[in-house]
Every structure is written in structure tokens, then in C-alpha cells.
């Protein structure tokens, strides 16, 4: 079957091939459209990743706090709740159910609701990874902070977390790449991202193979860029000679 890559140069309204492949004003081509959809995908993914890092870090820390059983239970409940419900179901819950139960949420845009769903879902996974990173540190790290007179927030801030984050960079890389792939479920609530584009453009042009190949390439490029950035961070943050003592410590 011959490929027809000129499909991306066609005007979305007239289906005529546009010189240069890029339209202007309201006359856009499928190439314009796919890059706009890519922008939505990147926007949803990066914003959700930020939410996941912040919330996941908080939950991961409170799950390891000494002498705070209720906070630990809350953290455990958060992780079990968000990682045991399918992401697509969570998207629908945030989009349809949450605004019905909490009226102020009706004013939130679908973009915000999808970011919350994707961010909280990923936060449970990051919280578990951070907890594992903290527990992998030797107990001496914590005692050293206490011996210096640090309070609990201070020895987490200056002693434990800087080492724990370095340990979990590889799984964080995977989560950062996964969030781009998981953002595809946003099409279910009509976010105009890449998967939504593929469904509509493939139907309009009757060239689904070319459309899906292009969309796949953009997902791969997005994930690879994140991978290279995290690899750079991992290399710069590596502690020479440090090996996580899994099972040898605990907090």
C-alpha cells in the first residue's frame, strides 16, 4: 500500500494541497493541526508531571515520618486509592463525578481536570518510589542529621531527600516518559491532543496509517527528549561511590 504523505499538506476544509504544507489564519493544514495537538499533549504531560512530583514528594515523605501514624495511614491510603483505579476511570471520575459532587469544580476547564487526574495518578507511583528511596538509606543518615540538631523537616530537607532523590532518578525517568504515553487518555474528555487528532484526522482523510505513524513518531520524540534530559540530570546528580543499601536501613 503506497503512502500518501501529502495528506499533511492538505487544507482541513477544502482538502486541497497547500504549498509549503503550512496554512495560515483560519485555513490550516493537517500539519498545522498535528503540531497544535502535540502542543496540547506536551502541555498536559508537563503540567501533570509537575503536579505529580509535588504531590508525590509530599505523600512519599509523610509515609516515612517517624511517630506520625495517622499521617502514614493517610499517605498509604492515598497511594492505594490512586494506583488501584484505572487511569481512564479516574479521568471520567474527575470529569463527570467530581464537578457534580463539588459545585466549585464545575468552573474548572477539562484541561485542569485531566491534569489533576493524571497528576494524582502518577503521584501515587512517585510517592512509592520516594518512600523506597528514603528507606534504602542507611539509618546513620538520619541519626547524623539529628546529631547536628536538625528538626525533622530540616534533616529531611538537608540530609535525607537530597540522597533519596538521587537514588530514584531512574524510576522517575520511567514515570516522566510514562506520563506522556498516559496523556493519550485525555482524548476521552475531548482534549485536542495527539490521540484525539489521530482519531479525527484519520477519519476525515481516510489515511489513518500515515496519521497514526506520524502521531507515534511524535510520542516517541517526546519520550526520548524526556529520557535524555533525565539521563543528563542522573549523570550530574550521581554520587561517586554511593550504593543504595537496600534493606540495610530504614526510617
- Residue 232 pLDDT: 92
- Residue 113 pLDDT: 93
- Residue 248 pLDDT: 39
DSSP assigned state of 206? S
Instruction: Look up residue 28 and give its three cell numbers.
Output: 490550516
Instruction: Look up residue 73 and give its three cell numbers.
Output: 495511614
> Could you list the mean pLDDT of each consecutive 10-residue stretch along the chain, which spans 251 residues?
86 89 87 95 96 97 91 95 93 93 91 95 96 89 83 89 90 92 88 93 92 95 93 83 46 43
- Residue 245 pLDDT: 41
- Residue 242 pLDDT: 60
- Exposed / middle / buried, residue 215 (Cβ in 10 Å: 0-12, 13-18, 19+): buried
37 in helix, strand or coil? helix
CB-based contacts of 56: which residues, under 8 Å, 6+ apart?
Answer: 122, 123, 124, 125, 126, 127, 129, 130
What is the helix (H) or strand (E) element at residue 56, kind and residue range?
A: helix 30-62
From the list 40, 33, 38, the residue with the least C-alpha distance to 110 is 40
Amino acid at each position: 500500500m503506497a503512502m500518501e504523505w501529502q495528506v499533511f499538506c492538505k487544507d482541513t476544509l477544502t482538502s486541497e494541497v497547500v504549498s509549503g504544507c503550512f496554512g495560515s489564519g483560519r485555513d490550516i493544514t493537517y500539519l498545522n493541526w498535528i503540531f497544535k495537538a502535540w502542543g496540547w499533549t506536551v502541555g498536559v504531560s508537563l503540567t501533570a508531571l509537575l503536579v505529580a512530583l509535588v504531590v508525590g514528594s509530599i505523600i512519599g515523605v509523610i509515609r516515612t515520618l517517624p511517630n506520625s501514624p495517622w499521617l502514614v495511614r493517610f499517605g498509604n491510603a492515598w497511594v492505594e486509592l490512586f494506583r488501584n483505579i484505572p487511569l481512564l476511570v479516574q479521568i471520567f471520575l474527575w470529569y463527570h463525578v467530581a464537578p457534580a459532587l463539588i459545585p466549585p469544580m464545575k468552573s474548572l476547564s477539562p484541561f485542569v481536570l485531566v491534569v489533576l487526574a493524571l497528576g494524582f495518578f502518577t503521584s501515587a507511583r512517585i510517592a512509592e518510589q520516594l518512600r523506597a528511596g528514603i528507606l534504602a538509606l542507611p539509618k546513620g543518615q538520619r541519626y547524623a542529621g539529628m546529631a547536628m540538631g536538625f528538626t525533622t523537616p530540616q534533616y529531611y530537607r538537608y540530609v535525607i531527600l537530597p540522597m533519596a532523590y538521587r537514588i530514584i532518578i531512574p524510576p522517575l525517568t520511567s514515570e516522566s516518559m510514562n506520563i506522556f504515553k498516559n496523556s493519550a487518555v485525555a482524548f476521552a474528555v475531548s482534549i485536542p491532543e495527539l490521540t484525539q487528532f489521530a482519531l479525527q484526522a484519520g477519519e476525515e482523510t481516510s489515511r489513518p496509517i500515515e496519521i497514526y505513524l506520524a502521531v507515534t513518531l511524535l510520542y516517541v520524540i517526546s519520550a526520548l527528549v524526556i529520557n535524555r534530559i533525565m539521563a543528563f540530570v542522573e549523570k550530574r546528580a550521581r554520587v561517586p561511590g554511593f550504593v543504595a543499601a537496600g534493606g540495610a536501613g530504614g526510617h
